[in-house]
Amino acid sequence: MKILAVILLFLLSVLTATSKSLTAYFETYPEENIGIDSVFLTEGDILADMRRNAVRDIHATWLNRTVPYIIEDTYDHSQRMEIKLAMTEFEEKTCIRFVPRSDETDYIIIRSEMGCFSPVGRRGGQQLVSIGPGCDRKGTIMHELMHALGFWHEHSRPDRDSYITIAWDNIPEDHKSNFRKYTEEDIDTLGAPYDYGSIMHYKNNTFANDRFKPTIKSKFPLPDGVEMGQRIELSDTDILKVNRLYRCNITHCPDAGVPKIGYRKGDNFQVASAVHYNCSADYVLVGSRARYCMDIGQWTGNLPVCLPSYKGGKLHYCNFDRNNSCGWKQDKLDNQDWTFNNRDTPSVQTGPKEDRTMGTQEGYYIFLESSRPCEEGDAARLISPSFDFSGTKACLVFYYSMYGSTMGQLNVYQRVSGKNMKKFSQSGDQGQDWHMTAVVLDEYSSFEIVIEAIAGTSYKSDMAVDDVIVGSCDILSSLVNGDIQDTMSCGFNNGLCGWTQAKDDVFDWELMSGSTSTFNTGPNCDPSDCIKGQYLYTEASAPRVQGDTAIIQSPMLRGGSERCLAFSYHMFGDSMGTIKVYLSEFGSNKELLWTRSGDHGTDWIREQLDFVPKSLYQLVFEGSRGSSYRSDMAIDNVDVTVGNCAGAS
């Protein structure tokens, strides 16, 4: 028994010594995290996230300069004090504030994993900052919190080769990537000088094969008192960079404004403060009920407006904030569901960056998550409550985002007695911005709206919708006028550009490349690009008969002054029909602008028209089939510019 006891004591002493050795090792080289393979780390202590880097992206800094946190209970009193001291130094020397998390969506959780590491910048939701054994000293904790705030290592700056030399021959092959140099597109140095004494700088023998030789050599003598790789305190340059990244010189936002026929609660315009809005009785607030003063000196979102809810039927508005669907319901017969979100979607290079209403994580929107298990062609449909706008023309206004290289299709239907009538359709990549559209609805005593997203060919097909309004057209016209574009240009080479097929005609305009299928009618190819270009045409072969119409209408455009419409048309065929162009002002009847009939030869013809829309409007092209199949007509390159056509040319 005595021998066994001696052996046990020996083993215990070895384990204790090993533990102390590991702790001392991590304290000396906290970024190395040697032997840790449970997480994917880059540069030793950065929890990798390949979506984007922080300091080049305002969306990856912490909102209102505030970092909500949770410290797990596994730390003893001394360790918790070190964490608090690290946070206190930031709060004393910068405008950053660390606050215990209540219900914030984005926050850090400080947990004792094996090693010390953190992601760079705000990544969304809960994110881990590991302060493990040997990492629980104030300086090392500040190093990891600097990563969480949005900073990479100092030695990875784009200009580092002017200040240091990397001794590649003393770095193990599998650690050479930790000494990569980033480009100016990756890292913003914030105009600060290279800082040998930064708390973010490696020690001069980090990841060394031979600890007695450097892996980083300074090209200049270090300033007096400066130690490369110190983990004692924030350097003056560290403090400067934090304050610049978080714009600590900005303290206030401008006056938050008051909506007409409404009122505001709150007169504090300091950064991180909030104001709240309400409308008078019988008015609906369109926009956000709360706005926050951001650290860029601007309020979130736009000043909301108050619109009457009593005229011609109750105005219905939904911005989906705080996961509120406002009475809209998921269709149980589709393949996928619309999903609530309040930041960029999980997949890279697709979806919007943030909510449309607020422009920050405080607001929400709905989107189709097109990653697996979603497949090409899967549909998600959202169905509105039932509306009744008897006695007035109703309109639909909404914002959409369709960013992604394999973007699918977004459709909007007016549903009457269970029958869907398509009122809007858009497909293809439309960029990352939010786009507004307005649709004039058909007059029915009762109807619903259906918003349908159809997935594209891959995960890069996240489309989103926000700020949906249904109301009388005369009320909504003043609201949307400022958000509608003045001009338009479409060559139809990438789809319909937001043009929609009418549902009260007989057949549709079709996209075509090359010649039409019928001999001695229609163009041979696109007027601008004969090889790859597309145009719109009407196919006059059976089952079409004389007088059948195909009608297509443009997106909504802003009026108020003279406009020039330019377009190309092609009318070749010995039984050619008629093309008409109408002006359709928001909620009003159509006005004929131009018409042509008969055979106009084999060439494309360019036409220009002056017109003066008084308010929001759409352009409508109507093709009417002639007496036989030799009546294929085409249009292309439709452009609208401000001013008259003489000035435009």
Given pLDDT bands bounded at 50, 70 and 90, which one contains residue 38?
very low
At what angle are helices 236-245 and 138-149 packed, to 10 degrees?
Answer: 30
Residue found by looking up tokens 């960056």 in the block: 353
pLDDT of residue 530: 93
**Helices assigned H by DSSP within 119-195:** 138-149
pLDDT of residue 264: 96
pLDDT in tens, 303-351: 999 988 865 557 899 999 877 899 999 999 999 999 999 878 888 899 9
Catalytic one of 31, 32, 82, 144: 144
Phi/psi region, residue 447 (left: phi>0; alpha: psi -120 to 50; beta: rest), is beta
327-339 burial code (b ≥16 CB/10 A, e <16): ebeebeebebebe
Average pLDDT, the chain: 87
What is the rounded distance in angstroms from the CA atom of residue 303 to the CA atom of residue 11? 70
Q: What is the DSSP string of 198-263?
A: -TTSPPTTTT-SSTTS-SEEESSPPPTT--TT--SS--HHHHHHHHHHTTTT--B-------TTEE
pLDDT of residue 30: 61
pLDDT over 70, % of the chain? 89
What is the rounded distance in angstroms from the CA atom of residue 257 to the CA atom of residue 478? 19
What is the rounded distance in angstroms from the CA atom of residue 555 to the CA atom of residue 624? 22
Residue 515 and residue 531 in contact, taking contact as beta carbons nearer than 8 Å = no
What is the rounded distance in angstroms from the CA atom of residue 450 to the CA atom of residue 222? 67
At what angle are helices 77-93 and 138-149 packed, to 10 degrees?
Answer: 50
Of 397, 401, 396, 411, nearest in space to 366 by CA: 401
pLDDT in tens, 413-446: 999 999 999 888 888 888 888 888 888 888 888 8
What is the rounded distance in angstroms from the CA atom of residue 136 to the CA atom of residue 112? 9
pLDDT in tens, 589-619: 789 999 999 999 999 999 999 999 987 888 9
Given pLDDT bands bounded at 50, 70 and 90, which one contains residue 125?
confident
Using the predicted structure, report yes or no on whether residue 552 has a pLDDT greater than 60: yes
pLDDT of residue 11: 42
Answer with the residue of higher pLDDT: 138 or 590: 138
pLDDT of residue 444: 85
Q: What is the DSSP string of 2-23?
A: HHHHHHHHHHHHHHHHHHHHHH
Average the pLDDT over 156-170 and give the result.
95
What is the rounded distance in angstroms from the CA atom of residue 556 to the CA atom of residue 499? 9
Average the pLDDT over 147-160 and give the result.
94
pLDDT in tens, 256-313: 999 999 999 999 999 889 999 999 988 999 999 999 998 888 899 889 999 888 655 5
pLDDT in tens, 359-413: 877 789 999 999 999 999 999 999 999 998 877 788 899 999 999 999 999 999 9
pLDDT of residue 42: 64
DSSP 8-state code for residue 179: G
AA letter at 446: S
Measured in residues, the chain has a length of 649
Of 233, 230, 189, nearest in space to 92 by CA: 233
Residue 444 and residue 392 in contact, taking contact as beta carbons nearer than 8 Å = no
Using the predicted structure, report yes or no on whether residue 204 has a pLDDT greater than 80: yes
Question: For this structure, is 144 an active site residue?
Answer: yes
Residue 413 and residue 421 in contact, taking contact as beta carbons nearer than 8 Å = yes
Residue found by looking up tokens 């100016």 in the block: 184
| Six token digits for residue 578 | 């008629």
Q: What is the DSSP string of 408-460?
A: -EEEEEEEETTEEEEEEEEES---SS-EEEEEEPP--SSBEEEEEEE--SSS-
